[in-house]
Amino acid sequence: QKEVEQNSGPLSVPEGAIASLNCTYSDRGSQSFFWYRQYSGKSPELIMFIYSNGDKEDGRFTAQLNKASQYVSLLIRDSQPSDSATYLCAVRGNNNDMRFGAGTRLTVKP
């Protein structure tokens, strides 16, 4: 079992819709969870992080964490074509390293 799992997609949504990205992790002791966005040929950039169960909102982005289910998600409201990218879920391990999922490729169609 992979440490961090994501649906590779591609996920396609129309402009203005809500995009929902999901991630599960295997280490029940994980405490810190991150969502990164990566454009083709570029390094990842941090979108949000979440530490506590529940929802965390930042602009058009909402991260959701359910530690009991070992599940973290990212919702993007009012999706824009510029949101088209690969979204990486990351979990901070006990050694403070960061383990990444394979990423979900999102396409927002105008």
Partner 1 sequence: GAVVSQHPSRVICKSGTSVKIECRSLDFQATTMFWYRQFPKQSLMLMATSNEGSKATYEQGVEKDKFLINHASLTLSTLTVTSAHPEDSSFYICSARTSVSGELFFGEGSRLTVL
Which residues contact partner 1 (rule: CB under 8 A)? 32, 34, 41-46, 49, 88, 95-103
Pick the closer one to partner 1 by CB: 32 or 53: 32
- Give the nearest distance from C-beta 100 to partner 1 in angstroms: 5
CB of 16 to partner 1, least distance (A): 27
Q: Which is nearer to partner 1, 12 or 78 (CB)?
A: 12
What pairing do the DSSP bridges indicate for beta strands 104-109 and 11-14? parallel
Helices (H) and strands (E) in the chain, counts: 0, 11
